[in-house]
Structure 1
Amino acid sequence: MTPIKFILRYTVVPLMAIIAVVSWALFHSSAEIDARQYAALSAAYASFPVPLRRDVADAMKSGKLHKWDYSSLVRESLDDGVVLDWPQQQTADVAQERARLAALVRADRF
């Protein structure tokens, strides 16, 4: 086996596979949350403690919530004893639910 074949077989191909998986995971977790998740945050926002409300406001500074922000907020809400419940009816309009949460955050200025 030549050194070039050895390098290609045992280092470059596995390294490229690792890079592909990591880039897919980063792209997937940076996507925006869906309307049901915005609706769940909006419905439970009034029962959030003040530090969690601040964290929601900080996460909404860009105008959108990403999946990693949402997972952090859900973990924090569970630590604070607040359970997020998705709405019974299907909410398909992400922009409308995002606007509703943004309105709650703006009305609750600290």
Structure 2
Amino acid sequence: MSPVKFVLSYTAVPLMAIVTVVTWASLHASAEIDARQYASLSTSYASFPAGLRHDIADALKSGMLSKSDYSSLVRESLDDDVVLDWPAGNTVDVARERAKLLALVRADRFR
């Protein structure tokens, strides 16, 4: 086996596979959450402790919540003994549900 073939077979290909998986995982985690997840946060927002409401406001500074933000917020809500309940209705409009949550956060800021 030539040195070039060895390098390509045993280092370049596995390295490219690792780079591809890491890139895909980071793009997947930074994607926006869906409408049901926004609705679950907005329906339970009033029962959240002040610290969790503050963390939601911080996460929404970019105007949307990513999947990694949402998973962190869910873990924090469970630590605070608050269970998120997904709405029974069919919520499919992400923009509308995001606007509801943003309105709650803004109204909470001015209290």
Partner of 1:63: 63
Structure 1 residue 12: Cα displacement: 0.4
- CA distance in 2 between counterparts of 1:57 and 1:42 reads 12
Question: When the two structures are superposed, what TM-score results if normalisation uses the length of structure 2?
Answer: 0.97
Structure 1 residue 50: Cα displacement: 0.5
State yes or no: 1:32 paired with 2:29.
Answer: no
Structure 1 residue 23: Cα displacement: 0.4
- CA distance in 1 between counterparts of 2:81 and 2:48 reads 9
- CA distance in 2 between counterparts of 1:16 and 1:52 reads 40
Structure 1 residue 11: Cα displacement: 0.3
Partner of 1:17: 17
Structure 1 residue 52: Cα displacement: 0.4
State yes or no: 1:72 paired with 2:72.
Answer: yes
- CA distance in 1 between counterparts of 2:90 and 2:14 reads 42
Q: What secondary structure sits across from 1:4 in the alignment?
A: helix
Structure 1 residue 15: Cα displacement: 0.4
- CA distance in 2 between counterparts of 1:89 and 1:44 reads 15
Structure 1 residue 85: Cα displacement: 1.0
Moved over 6 A (4+): none
Query: 1:41-84 deviations in whole A, cap 9, x for unaligned?
Result: 00110010000000000000111000000000000000000011
Partner of 2:97: 97
State yes or no: 1:42 paired with 2:38.
Answer: no
Structure 1 residue 90: Cα displacement: 1.0
Q: What secondary structure sits across from 1:81 in the alignment?
A: coil
Q: Which runs of 5+ in 1 are unaligned?
A: none
- CA distance in 2 between counterparts of 1:78 and 1:11 reads 43
Question: When the two structures are superposed, what TM-score results if normalisation uses the length of structure 1?
Answer: 0.98
- CA distance in 2 between counterparts of 1:5 and 1:88 reads 58
